[in-house]
Amino acid sequence: MKSLIDCAGSVGAEFEIYSRSSETKSVSIENSELKDVKSCMSSGVGLRLIKNGMSGLSFTRNLTDPESLVKNAMASLRAGVEAKFTFPCTKEYLKLRTNSVKSGQITSDELLAESFRMRDLLARKAKAQVNAGARLFTAEYRLINSAGTDISWKESSVEKYGSLISAGGSEYSAGDSGFDLLPMSDASLLNVVRLFEADRAEIRPEPGKQKVLFMPRAMNTLLWRVQSGANGQSLHQKITPLAGRIGEKVFSDILTLRNNPLNDSIPGARSVDDEGVPCSNFPLIDRGVFKGFYCDLNFAAKTGSVPTGHGFRRSMWGGDPVILKPQPYLGHLFFDKGEKSFDALLKEMGKGIVVFSALGDHTGNIPNGDFSVGLSLGLCVENGRIVGKAKDTMVSGNIYDIMKRAVAVGSESEPAYSNNPPVLFDGVDVSS
Amino acid sequence: MIDKIRKMLELVDADYADIRYENKKETSIWFEGKELTRVSANSADGYVLRVLSKGGFSSVAFTKPEDAGRAAAAALADAKLLSRNVRESVRLAGVPVIKARFRPEMSEHPEKVSLEEKIALTRAYNGIPLKNPKVITTSIAYVETCRDKYFASTEGTEINEELATLSLAGTGTARDGALTQSALFLTGGSDGFSCLRNREDYFEKNSKFLTDMLSAKPVAGGVYNVILDQGLAGTFTHEAFGHFSEADLVEDMPELRKKMSIGAQLGSGSVNIVDDPTLPHQLGFYKYDDEGVPAKRVQLMKNGVLAGRLHSRRTAAAFGDEATGHCVAEDYRYEPIVRMGSIMIEPDPATDFEKLLSQLGNGLYLCGSKGGQTSGENFTFSAAWGFEVKNGKIGQMLRDINIMGNMFTTLKNIAAVGNDPLLSEFGGCGKGQINRRSCHGGPHILVNSVVVGGVK
């Protein structure tokens, strides 16, 4: 690393070095049988340079030739990509819990034992195809720049899931995420069984406007559109309906939506972003009012605002952080919890649809806020009770319309889905 | 390199092992609006080792050659863990031992074109939609990946194959008042840089559709008979049917596997579907898959009857079939999985587009795929734009179109198949890994009773 720092420093440019070394172990069970056990060991270094108002980037998997890495970045820089920002000097930042020292000792045998336990519990309770699995991720990161930032951090997470698959292929699942390998709660798994029981009848719901409850796993249908609208990049590109609306009430006042990377009760917490800018508990929507755009260094400079600590080497689909360049990204976006349990939300709904998972949430006119998704798992509710599975059903709308008609927020959030609670909306278009 | 990876295989004491090393060169050029936002040309490399020991089959991906010993130990331990816990031991279908170095014929190798010329071409195509003041931004990228792959197995197979995949693709966004619309531009392929030259007409045509959508009306939700254009027919074939032709997806879904029995009448008599990675110069072309197996054309459906499946060596043995050469990885970071190559509905020479319109009578004509997704038997996909059809005549343009359906019902509802097949130039199937060479297509097809989302 020292030779790369020396080499990057010798070309008269500002530099930023991002290094990542990670390991994963995973096991998966399909149809009650062990399907796969596999491992991955990956490392890489990403380099960004800024010189004379231009930026360049390069990456490598093996830092055996620092000169070539710098040469590649200089060639990229000469192509003419403008940079109006400089790298920050960050010396002070919050110390958060991002890993467990014990996680490095977790074995594939232990992941398998927990997966078998989840499988056995589900298989005892329901006659169905059972899938289960667990994945351990550990990583070490270092971010160094020419302004004096030098930050290292470790990350660990253990993700687990247990699913029942219906005859038609619909998946009823519970997910869990933590720093260590702890058993998934029986209550979560038993809730999967309870929902699966409702799969006995298939119902084609009446077309028209209905109350629709979006569960945490389906929340991307709505949140991807909010992320597009509140993105500093969308502001720069003049494609956001939220331009000029900071301080305006755009959603129902029961909705507060924030991005909080500082929440270290779940894995993935961050005190600085991938550019070294400190993160914050950032409210996008506060009781219905739009509070502001989120930016990385690049788009903060382009839109004349300040960087908000949202420059991450991520894309909508995840991606490889060594290869990607930082861009505005919300990785910890969730609604503040409300007060109603799942059963209370069903009662409030009376009649409507519960969307557990959506198909095609990545398609359609996302910048405009439009969505039109098929239900891979949607349940019909009548008189406050689940009566069957929604057959060949789509729900459609525009977030800037339906978010004004949110009527209740659930009290139970799911860590595996950024701690989001369910949210109930009135007047959502249903086609079937 | 073959010698180097063969030595790594010697670290493993198992019934079978193979290793793949890849050096992947990637060049990206991005424009957002008029602005050049990324130019990079890099190479990155890594290894995937697979081990079969006493019926347990596992894999490990690693990037540092000095980790080979640790990776071999991890793969062997994982294979043994599998071996102790699987009910049925994994077997691999027999395949011929191959020693080959293969370079596909390309009309113009992209590495012979300068970075400056690639930037200039991307800038030129990006500028076409931006000529219209209603187009407020674009996000258009040139992406070139050249995978130089080396494969060796303990059976003696040694293959070096290079695959170059190009795309010049992205979105344009237009605005009129509060209404924003976007359209995709998708050019590319595996036939070298010439597939990107002289494509101004394509960018002009899609730019016009983009701005025309600002005066289109939103589709009304409901159930319609529809004609799908070649892009959407391909998306349907890939998303709704193709994934369940992949043996690794269907093998652990007992209900679906029962329904997907070879010989089952799943579609209407007019539906014939093939997957053919051997079609030269097409996006989905390759000679050997990432298990070192020669790619084969597979007839998946004949006159509506299920006729075949796509296999890896493992699934072929489990199903009692022959390996088909469809086990493919995204790159050096992943183990190979069963993937489609070039999947398509075969054309009916007797049915032209006018005949399809006449047969439709009243309904929708839906064009251009904007992606799709499946879950179990159900699928959803999005059309770029569409048109009302009344009395067999194409009418008003429509926007915001998403359709959903059940695979089995929809296959039976295919009422007619046209005579004008086209294959896609741009891939990106995301079955856990991205397959940039995933190619699909077909002719126009007429489908009855499709659920369309939207305001009633």
Half-sphere exposure for B342 (CA within 13 Å, toward CB): 26
Q: State the nearest Cα–Cα gap between A383 and chain B, in angstroms.
A: 24
Clarify whether residues A178 and A317 are in a common domain. no
User: In chain B, what residues touch A33 (CB-CB under 8 Å)?
Assistant: 86-88, 252
DSSP for B188-224, please give it: EESSBGGGGTT-HHHHHHHHHHHHHGGGSEEPPPEEE
Q: What are the two backbone dihedrals, phi and then psi, of residue A281, each rounded to the nearest 5 degrees?
A: -80, 95
Clarify whether residues A256 and A377 are in a common domain. yes
Distance of CA B144 to the CA centre of its chain: 16
State pLDDT tens for residues B84-120.
Answer: 999 899 999 999 999 999 999 898 999 999 999 999 9
State pLDDT tens for residues A85-140.
Answer: 999 999 999 999 999 999 989 999 999 999 999 999 999 999 999 999 999 999 99
Between A245-249, A313-317, B241-245, the lowest mean confidence (pLDDT) is in A313-317
Q: Which among A33, A79, A171 is the nearest to B375, CB-wise?
A: A171
Q: State the nearest Cα–Cα gap between A76 and chain B, in angstroms.
A: 5
Local structure of B433: helix, strand or coil:
coil
Q: Burial level of B270, CB count in 10 A (0-12/13-18/19+)?
A: middle
Residue A182 lies in domain: 2-195
Residue A185's region, left for phi above 0, alpha for psi from -120 to 50, else beta, is: beta
The first and second tokens of residue A29, run together, are: 């069970």
Q: Could you tell me where the beta strands, DSSP code E, fall in A125-218?
A: 129-145, 150-165, 171-178, 202-203, 208-214
Query: What is the pLDDT, as a whole number, of residue B224?
Result: 96
| Residue B240 DSSP class | I
Clarify whether residues A225 and A183 are in a common domain. no
Residue A362 and residue B373: Cβ atoms within 8 Å? yes
Contact map slice: A 92-131 vs B, CB within 8 A: 108-109, 112, 129, 131
Clarify whether residues A125 and A221 are in a common domain. no
Q: Is the pLDDT of residue B455 over 70?
A: no
Angle between the A2-9 and A66-78 helix axes, to the nearest 10 degrees? 30
Query: What is the pLDDT, as a whole number, of residue B378?
Result: 83
Cβ neighbors of B73 (< 8 A, separation 6 or more) are none
A149 touches chain B (CB under 8 A): no
State pLDDT tens for residues A376-389.
Answer: 889 999 999 999 88
Gap between the Cα atoms of B207 and B136, Å rounded: 12
Between A282-286, A363-367, A413-417, B291-295, the lowest mean confidence (pLDDT) is in A413-417
Compute the average pLDDT of residues B281-297: 97
Query: What is the pLDDT, as a whole number, of residue B143?
Result: 97
Clarify whether residues A303 and A357 are in a common domain. yes
Compute the average pLDDT of residues B287-313: 98
Q: Spell out a b/e string for B125-162, using b for 16 or more CB atoms within 10 Å of the CB, else e.
A: bbebbbeeeebbbbbbbbbbbbbbbbbbbbeebbbbbe
Residue B374 and residue A359: Cβ atoms within 8 Å? yes
Number of domains making up chain A: 2
Residue A76 and residue B41: Cβ atoms within 8 Å? yes
User: In chain B, what residues touch A364 (CB-CB under 8 Å)?
Assistant: 370, 382, 400, 402
Compute the average pLDDT of residues A343-372: 90
A74 touches chain B (CB under 8 A): no
A326 touches chain B (CB under 8 A): no
Clarify whether residues A384 and A415 are in a common domain. yes
Q: Spell out a b/e string for B177-215, using b for 16 or more CB atoms within 10 Å of the CB, else e.
A: eebbbbbbbbbbbbbbbebbeebeebbeebbebbbebbe
Q: Is the pLDDT of residue A316 over 80?
A: no
Query: What is the pLDDT, as a whole number, of residue B253?
Result: 86
Instruction: Please report the ipTM that was assigned to this predicted complex.
Output: 0.89
Cβ neighbors of A390 (< 8 A, separation 6 or more) are A203, A204, A205, A353, A375, A378, A379, A380, A432
Q: Give A202's pLDDT tier (boundaries 50, 70, 90).
A: confident
Clarify whether residues A117 and A213 are in a common domain. no
Residue B309: strand pairing partners = none
Among A138, A173, A195, identify where a domain stops: A195
- Evaluated on CA atoms A305, A306, A308, A310, the torsion sign reads positive
Q: State the nearest Cα–Cα gap between B108 and chain A, in angstroms.
A: 23
| Chain A residue closest in CA terms to B30 | A81
Compute the average pLDDT of residues B218-223: 92
How many Cβ atoms sit within 10 Å of the Cβ of residue A259? 25
Gap between the Cα atoms of B377 and A167, Å rounded: 9
The first and second tokens of residue A359, run together, are: 């198909």
The residue of A85, A394, A399 whose CB has the most chain B CBs within 10 angstroms, and thus the best one to mutate to test that interface, is A394
Residue A374 and residue B404: Cβ atoms within 8 Å? yes
Compute the average pLDDT of residues A268-280: 96
Q: Is the pLDDT of residue A199 over 70?
A: no
Which residue has better confidence, A204 or B446? B446
Clarify whether residues A292 and A364 are in a common domain. yes
| Residue B294 DSSP class | B
Percentage of chain A with pLDDT > 90?
78
Residue B393 one-letter amino acid = K
Among A145, A180, A195, identify where a domain stops: A195
CATH superfamily ID and name for B2-215: PmbA/TldD superfamily (3.30.2290.10)
Q: Could you tell me where the beta strands, DSSP code E, fall in A61-102?
A: 81-82
Residue A145: strand pairing partners = A16
Residue A344 one-letter amino acid = A
Clarify whether residues A25 and A62 are in a common domain. yes
Torsion of CA B210, B212, B218, B222, to 10 degrees: -90
Among A195, A210, A241, identify where a domain stops: A195
Q: Which among B37, B252, B382 is the nearest to A363, CB-wise?
A: B382
State pLDDT tens for residues A27-73.
Answer: 999 999 999 999 999 999 999 999 999 999 999 998 888 999 999 99
Clarify whether residues A313 and A299 are in a common domain. yes
| Chain A residue closest in CA terms to B68 | A41
What residues does each domain of chain B span?
2-215, 218-452
